[in-house]
Chains A and B, each alone.
Chain A
Amino acid sequence: MNQIIENFFNFEALARSQKLLLIGLETTLRLIGLAVLLAMGFGLFLAVLRHANRRWLNPLIIAYVDVVRACPIIVLLMLIYYALPFIGIRLPAFWAGILALSLNGGAFYSEIFRGGIEAIPRGQTEAARSLGLTYMQTMRIVILPQAIRIILPPLTTNTLELIKASAVASTVALPDLLRQALQAQSLTLNATPLVAVLMLYLLILLPLVQLVTFFERRVKNSG
């Protein structure tokens, strides 16, 4: 028991690594915030493009979504960070992380948004268009407000997974929470920083898990 407290809940070690961890927290929050925002925007963009049903564009979008869904996110990140410099594209670790998370998240989000958009009967689009609304107006005023209600549960699940995946950015030496914790661990020769970071993540993500469970239960009770 003493050994556990000494090595996993050591306040002295925590105090010594506080500075490192705070930098990590800031980096991680910035990474998560921007990545989720960009991934959602990109996913929505893809879904709307696909709904517009341009014959030459659809196969491209489908191929993109399927390939990216089949590619592990860390592989995508490695390609961006370690392969692209060979053709002269050098991204800093932060932006490489953002790009990998957005490309990957966008593919997943686009499928969800598409499901929501398609759940609204086509007749509503036709009615709105024949009333003189433009395509964008139809989307914004008629379709999306209804679609968002349907897709809220899968959207939450997906956001949870995207945030969890964001920790891979530590593998390209981005000073995020995980990276800083490992750094602090080798500095203090103590596992407390790692435990602290795991708890920080749980603090952020447990409410999201509860929300997911809540949605699942609501779907089951109504169905």
Chain B
Amino acid sequence: MDLSGIGRYFFNGEVMLKALPLLASGLVMTLKVSCVVIGIGFGVGLILALIRTGTAKTRVVGKVVGFLIRLYVDLLRASPYLVLLSFVYFGLPFLGVNLSTFWATVITFSACLSAFAEETFRAGIEAIDRGQWEAARSLGLSFFDTMRHIILPQAIRISIPALTNWTVAITKAISMASAIALPDLLKQARWAQGIFANPSPLIEAAVIYVLLFFPLVKLTLFLERKWGKLV
């Protein structure tokens, strides 16, 4: 071990400054992917949760739909992100489906997030007392009006702690997309490390990641303490 190299190799200000533009472009890519993934993941998750709770009362259809959605959720929860991503990026081209690194990443992680979001939203919807349904429906509100005005505002509030938790986990995992050469923050840092033959950009990227996620991790802990854990 040679600790004298720490300043020169880990915290080299000159290299860090030179690598900054590259890392900035990587950060923009990471944020862009994260936003799209969160948008699609929440959207699909909410729609699936609505379909599942909406069809729960009809016997045959409800059973089939419930089974299919549960299968989707369980399979995605059990798949390692990187394996799934590799399958989408390296496996699907054999079927003629050629995705860019950006879309392969977006599709993989949106699917994973939607699975967690479906579970969370559904648990939130089911946690609302049945009497509220019955009251709203007997006042003449349609299924969608009841959902939109009565159930969802409360259900989403309950879902927030668990949802933030999983969102943080998934957005952190998006850094794995550097393995399929998506030019995100981590990939650009590795690239810069190669150019300058110095790992300072890697340290720099790690610091940026921590600065990015630290407040979010704190927020999750705060929300869990305040509103309690649901899922």
Contacts and interface: CB of A to CB of B under 8 A. Distances in A.
B172 A72 contact: yes
Contacts of A171: 82, 176, 178-179
B3 to A, nearest CB: 6
A85 to B, nearest CB: 9
A38 interface: no
A22 interface: no
A87 B2 contact: yes
Interface in B152-191: 169, 172-173, 175-176, 178-179, 186, 189-190
B91 A70 contact: no
Contact of B91 (A8, A66, A76, A210): A8
B209 A75 contact: yes
Nearest to A200: B83
A209 interface: yes
B83 to A, nearest CB: 5
B81 interface: yes
Q: Is the interface of A mostly helix, strand, loop or mixed?
A: helix
A167 B87 CA distance: 13
Interface residues of A, number: 54
Interface stretch (A46-54, A123-131, A187-195): A187-195
A13 B134 CA distance: 57
Contact of B82 (A67, A78, A161, A178): A178
B231 A88 contact: no
Contact of A205 (B78, B87, B218, B231): B78
A195 B91 contact: yes
A86 B199 contact: yes
Nearest to B91: A191
Interface residues of B, number: 50
Interface string A160-179: 11011111101100000110
A100 to B, nearest CB: 12
Given A82-B202, A87-B1, A168-B176, A197 B83 contact: yes
B190 A82 contact: yes
Contacts of B172: 72-73
A66 B95 contact: no
A137 to B, nearest CB: 31
B150 interface: no
A222 interface: no
Closest 8 CB pairs of A and B: A83-B199, A70-B213, A205-B78, A86-B9, A7-B94, A191-B91, A167-B80, A164-B80
Given A170-B82, A216-B123, 20 more contacts: A4-B95, A70-B217, A72-B209, A73-B172, A74-B176, A82-B199, A83-B202, A86-B198, A86-B199, A88-B5, A164-B81, A165-B173, A178-B80, A191-B90, A191-B91, A195-B87, A195-B91, A205-B78, A205-B80, A209-B77
Interface of A: 3-4, 7-8, 66-67, 69-76, 78-79, 82-83, 86-89, 160-161, 163-168, 170-171, 177-178, 181-182, 185, 190-191, 194-195, 197-198, 201-202, 205-206, 208-210, 212-213, 216, 220
9 contacts: A7-B95, A79-B206, A86-B199, A87-B5, A163-B80, A165-B81, A171-B178, A191-B91, A194-B90
